[in-house]
Structure 1
Amino acid sequence: MALLLRTVARQGVCISRPHYSLLYRHAAPMGTTAKEEMNKFWSKNATLNRPMSPHLTIYNWSIPMLMSITHRGTGVGLSGAISVFAAAALVLPGNYPYYLDLIHSLSIGPFLIGLAKLGIAFPVSYHTFNGVRHLYWDIGKGFRIPEVYRTGYTVIGLSIITSLAVAFL
């Protein structure tokens, strides 16, 4: 009932045809398809010289933008990897030492093992350090542009140093 009263109280609602205008005020007229409505929308915007909505291809990429995308990507990648590892630990037969011996029997060189460790260490360290940066932002500090760039470069540097130290030392 409240919705009905609110709808009647709005300006522009015609009460003479309550079966149509009261409930479907902004609906497309009967007999038109969605494609026709879309074409009408775009032709009206072209006639009025309205700009297109911005998208990734028109922006100049910046360090904070790349770091935000990388933070989200590492978060999704890490949660996916943990989920796959947990599911494999539940489903696969054997135990951890068995699979560790299997990896050692493949005779993979130390460089490739270091590269694999780097591939695991960098997303973990980057996501952790950038998460600390976000916690710093959550308390309301570090929003000035020079601070954003300085903390961004700090996160990148610490992530590289930490992941190299974990992978190769």
Structure 2
Amino acid sequence: MLSTRAVGLGPSLRQAAFRPTRAQALKSVVRTSIAKRTIQTERLKPTDAIDILNKQRLSRPSSPHFTIYQPQLTWLGSIFNRATGVALSALLYGFSLAYLFAPTTFDSAHVIEFVQGLPDAVKYGGKFLLSLPFTFHSFNGLRHLAWDSGRFLTVKSAYSTGYAVIGATALSTLYLTFF
């Protein structure tokens, strides 16, 4: 259902009624005669309003994603810290659940016997894959504890501690993998 209504008359008429000076009255007469316009409105069902809103959302610009920015040590470290935390948690909970449901298969003796039968390359690869997330997450956790205590919060010190975490992770991962 389409309806037409006048927009813009009410405020000027009220203003003229409350300020009955000649200048105001003349302004309101001029304003009401010039500023008259009509608009058409249409009744919509609630589902139509949702469709219009979704169409408007599609045409809005999206916020920038992190892929358009130059990689920085701070956000790469944050992403890697979260990924290593998830990986370590998944390993811990996965092995715990496996041991809970099959304790005779996943006990220490069977695990050691299984690992002894693997080739050396697979053993070193497995040690590397376990030690890298463990050492990075540990050293980066110490870095975050230092941040929580109010230390190393400048940009320069955040980068220097980030490089220190990477160096300590590399050295300790190599040590745990090969010694």
TM-score strictly above 0.5: yes
Aligned partners of 1:61 and 1:29: how far apart in 2?
47
State the SS of the aligned residue for 2:46: coil
Amino acid at match of 1:123: P
Q: CA RMSD in A?
A: 1.9
Aligned partners of 1:99 and 1:40: how far apart in 2?
58
- Residues 124-163 of structure 1: matches in 2 within 5 Å? 124-163=134-173
Residues 37, 92 of structure 1: alpha-carbon distance in 2 compared, 3 angstrom cutoff: same
Task: Report what 1:79 is aligned to.
Answer: 89
State the SS of the aligned residue for 1:141: coil
More strand by share: 2
Residues 149, 29 of structure 1: alpha-carbon distance in 2 compared, 3 angstrom cutoff: farther
Match of 1:119 among 129, 135, 139: 129
CA contact (8 A) 2:73 2:159 kept: yes
Task: Report what 2:112 is aligned to.
Answer: 100
TM-score by length of 1: 0.72
Task: Report what 1:20 is aligned to.
Answer: none
Please identify runs of 4+ aligned residues in structure 1 that moved more than 4 A. Answer: none
Greater RCO structure (CA 8 Å; 6+ sep):
1
Q: Does 1:36 align with 2:52?
A: yes
Aligned partners of 2:93 and 2:63: how far apart in 1?
36
Q: Does 1:165 align with 2:175?
A: yes
Per the TM alignment, residue 35 of structure 1 is displaced from its structure 2 partner at its CA by: 3.2
Q: Does 1:70 align with 2:86?
A: no
After superposition, give the CA deviation of every residue in 1:110-131 in whole Å (9 maximum; x if it has no partner).
Answer: 2321111111011011000000
Aligned partners of 2:58 and 2:96: how far apart in 1?
49
Aligned partners of 2:126 and 2:66: how far apart in 1?
31
State the SS of the aligned residue for 1:83: helix
Per the TM alignment, residue 98 of structure 1 is displaced from its structure 2 partner at its CA by: 2.1
Q: Which has the larger radius of gyration?
A: 2
Q: Does 1:54 align with 2:64?
A: yes
Structure 2, unmatched stretches of 5+, are 1-43
